[in-house]
Chains A and B, each alone.
Chain A
Amino acid sequence: MSKKPKTKKQEKIKAKAKTTTKEKKVEREEEEYTGEYVIEIKNLKKYFGQKEEIVKAVDDISFNVPRGIMGYLGPNGAGKTTTIKMLVGAISPTKGGATIMGRKIGSIAARKLIGYSPEHPRFYDHMTPIDYLVFLGELGGLTRHEAEEKAFEILETIELEQAAYRNIVDFSAGMRQKMALAQALIHEPKVLILDEPTANLDPVGRAKILEQIKYLARKKGMTTLVSSHILGEIEKVAEYVTIINKGKIVISDTMDAVKGLYAGNQYVMRTSQNAKVVELLETKDYVETVWIDENGDIKIKAKDEIKLKNQIPTILKTTKVTLDAFHRVTVSLEDIFMRVTGLDSFKMIMEKEGKEGEEIEEITWEYIEPE
């Protein structure tokens, strides 16, 4: 049985110990979060406007963000920024919800875990980067000294240390974008939510920011949800991809799985004697079609993919050819994006009409639902 504290001093010590234990418990919970997904979004909705003029910006979306980097893609007005703003607590969902490492979005605990860089970052222009970062660092829970140290460290990493004491008002668009990333990192968040972090940057600046994002995710274990309209960049850094269109999630999976899905059952093969291999493959029941493409490679559309893969060594042995390459057809993220958002439908209509040799007098931009 514990004894009652005798003096006020003892009571204070006990109270202090209790507070410290509570703080440590919260920190430990953050460290020890073992959930499969860092961000879990369930039936999230955000509608703007009234009855008849209602805009379903985000319409009942559900997806999860595992540890690593997830690209969040969609055409303009698809609902990316609205989703992100709900995750950071700027706007409240109409229905549904989400958690960040088990904490409800918008709560103080959730916001402590995230670093957010908005699409159009704005700062207190009269402040210097150091003052600004220290201010936000203190809000994030750092002591002034810690915030100062961290601010210098980040500014050095993002190559802004020379401008540490200049007013932000004098910064170029690229420097501002770097500042946006810096402020997101100042309180050492576990999750980064970046809305178009490479907007307004030149190719070199974009590459540097992406390198930073990769570094933070890999070395510091920060889970990152990054939206961008530059699909090639996302393809390079993200392990996961989610595509939203007209407020609804179209696809959400690992980058490889998505590419695999859209590559379908097509394979590319290159051997020392391609014609001989094609001749043999045409006779196989597990092959739907086979041909040699414009690059001189063999293209195989399989009926039974597993059987095809298993039979490759036998085919090579039979034909006595050497194998240079065999892989699934590579599909770019841009191809997938265009297909799932229905944007490739326009292209298809025009190509068709062109082939028929008809003169196109008027192009109507009619949207066709993707299959």
Chain B
Amino acid sequence: MSFGIQKMSEIWYRLQQRFKMLIIAKKTFRDLTTTKKTLGILIAELILPLIFGIAVARTLPEDFDSWSVSAQTGAITTYFVILSFIWIAGIPLALYASSIGAGFIAKEQTEGTILILISKPIRRWEILTGKFLGFFVNILIIQTISIYVSAWFLVLITTNNISVFMSMLGIINAVILYSLIVALMFGAIAAALSSMINSTGKIVMIMAALTMATYFGFFLIRSLIGDYYEDYQIYHFDIGYHLANFYVMILQALNVEISPQIAMIIGVIGGTYKMGDVFTAFDDDQQLFKTPELAGYYPLYLSAILWIVVAIALIFFGITRLQKRDIT
């Protein structure tokens, strides 16, 4: 037994010495996973689902408990997907990831701690990637907890039926995956800026503006300029649209049924669905809303690739910048 532990620690030591980013990752993870910080982000992410769950429960029909499990799951999933897009895997997460990424290098530089760090035998790119790795593990844990707990809140408050929760596992995992992508993308952009701009505050401001543009800015532009949006091909630059496309792509890939309500919300905020259809797609025969058509400016996968490529390119740019930069 002790031989096994000894062997494992030897392997871990060799691995750490080969990839020193692991030592940085370990420290970053420990720095981020303090009780105060973890509780802070969990409370920020869970407070709205709790309130939302209570509000949803009040609007449900009285006989909701007598509905079939699949019908209950369908209804709750709709609320959950909307909540995830805007909140649990949305604005607070993007802001959290941005604020962490912003400090990767800029904070070390302004606080002067980087000078000692770079005098040690570690490559500069390993400092940035190590921090990113530590952040990724932290966000994986936080998001897994907050997404599972939010889903459980919704189920508990609305039906208290464990079967509904079990049926939602697929969508829960899809949301976890999507939230990781959101965190990585916003974190990557902030980290790249961090190796170019010395002020953490400035980077946080830029990232907050980017987050607001993603979730609200282009929604307002789309609403205000109407047809000009298509005529002038604004969608090329609509980061909210591309992110919403990404979300829909994940939902489709994991066979999550996109209800008309889900499509309506994502359509309004993200512009993924045709704006006109969002409010008029009503099936008179079945007295139900129909799922509107995709706007289709970009294939879903292309929007996903665009976000990923931009984030990766920025990270590489950040690393190159850091490699060449004088640390004074």
State how many angstroms separate the Cβ of A84 from the closest Cβ of chain B: 10
CA distance A118 to B13 in the complex (A): 28
CB-contact partner of B119 in A92, A116, A120, A126, under 8 A = A116
Q: Which residues of A contact B122 (CB under 8 A)?
A: 108, 111, 139
Q: Does B169 contact A (CB under 8 A)?
A: no
Known: A126-B31, A138-B23. A88 touches B111 (CB 8 A): no
Q: Is the CB of A140 within 8 A of B121?
A: yes
In chain B, positions 310-328 with a C-beta closer than 8 Å to chain A are 324, 326-328
Known: A85-B328, A126-B31. A135 touches B123 (CB 8 A): no
Known: A135-B23, A138-B23, A139-B23. A89 touches B112 (CB 8 A): no
Q: Is the CB of A90 within 8 A of B112?
A: no
Per-residue CB contact flags for chain B residues 108-125 toward chain A (1 = under 8 Å, else 0) read 000111011111111100
CA distance A90 to B115 in the complex (A): 7
Q: Nearest residue in B to A108 (C-beta to C-beta)?
A: B121
Q: Nearest residue in A to B118 (C-beta to C-beta)?
A: A90
State how many angstroms separate the Cβ of B9 from the closest Cβ of chain A: 8
Q: Nearest residue in A to B328 (C-beta to C-beta)?
A: A91
Query: For the complex, would chain B's binding face be called helix, strand, loop or mixed by DSSP majority?
Result: helix
State how many angstroms separate the Cβ of A23 from the closest Cβ of chain B: 9
In chain B, positions 1-57 with a C-beta closer than 8 Å to chain A are 9, 13, 16-17, 20, 23, 27, 31
Q: Which residues of B contact A88 (CB under 8 A)?
A: 118-119
Q: Is the CB of B121 within 8 A of A112?
A: yes
CA distance A143 to B111 in the complex (A): 28
Q: Which residues of B contact A121 (CB under 8 A)?
A: 112, 116
CA distance A114 to B115 in the complex (A): 13
Q: Which residues of B contact A85 (CB under 8 A)?
A: 115, 326-328
Q: Nearest residue in B to A139 (C-beta to C-beta)?
A: B120
Per-residue CB contact flags for chain B residues 286-328 toward chain A (1 = under 8 Å, else 0) read 0000000000000000000000000000000000000010111
Q: Is the CB of A136 within 8 A of B116?
A: yes
Q: Is the CB of A140 within 8 A of B120?
A: yes
Q: Is the CB of A111 within 8 A of B121?
A: yes
Q: Is the CB of A139 within 8 A of B118?
A: no
CA distance A72 to B126 in the complex (A): 32
Q: Does A171 contact B (CB under 8 A)?
A: no
Per-residue CB contact flags for chain A residues 132-164 toward chain B (1 = under 8 Å, else 0) read 000110111101100000000000000000000
Q: Which residues of A contact B120 (CB under 8 A)?
A: 111, 136, 139-140, 187
Q: Does A309 contact B (CB under 8 A)?
A: no
Q: Does A122 contact B (CB under 8 A)?
A: yes
In chain B, positions 243-259 with a C-beta closer than 8 Å to chain A are none
Per-residue CB contact flags for chain A residues 219-261 toward chain B (1 = under 8 Å, else 0) read 0000000000000000000000000000000000000000000
Q: Which residues of A contact B23 (CB under 8 A)?
A: 135, 138-139
CA distance A136 to B328 in the complex (A): 20
Q: Is the CB of B121 within 8 A of A122?
A: no
Q: Is the CB of B112 within 8 A of A120?
A: yes
Q: Does A124 contact B (CB under 8 A)?
A: yes
Q: Which residues of B contact A83 (CB under 8 A)?
A: none
State how many angstroms separate the Cβ of B126 from the closest Cβ of chain A: 10
Q: Which residues of A contact B326 (CB under 8 A)?
A: 85, 90-92
Q: Does A183 contact B (CB under 8 A)?
A: yes
Known: A108-B123, A111-B121. A183 touches B116 (CB 8 A): yes
CA distance A138 to B328 in the complex (A): 25
State how many angstroms separate the Cβ of A250 from the closest Cβ of chain B: 24
With most chain B CB atoms within 10 A of its CB, the pick from A89, A135, A138, A140 is: A138
Q: Which residues of B contact A180 (CB under 8 A)?
A: 116
CA distance A176 to B156 in the complex (A): 53
Q: Which residues of B contact A116 (CB under 8 A)?
A: 116, 119
Q: Nearest residue in A to B327 (C-beta to C-beta)?
A: A90
Nearest 5 Cβ contacts at the A-B interface: A122-B112, A91-B326, A116-B119, A112-B121, A90-B327
With A85-B326, A108-B123 given, name 7 new contacts (CB 8 A).
A89-B119, A112-B121, A118-B115, A123-B113, A135-B23, A139-B120, A144-B13
List residues of B whose CB falls within 8 A of some A CB. 9, 13, 16-17, 20, 23, 27, 31, 111-113, 115-123, 324, 326-328
Q: List 9 A-B contacts (CB under 8 A).
A: A85-B327, A85-B328, A88-B119, A90-B118, A118-B119, A135-B27, A136-B120, A140-B121, A141-B121
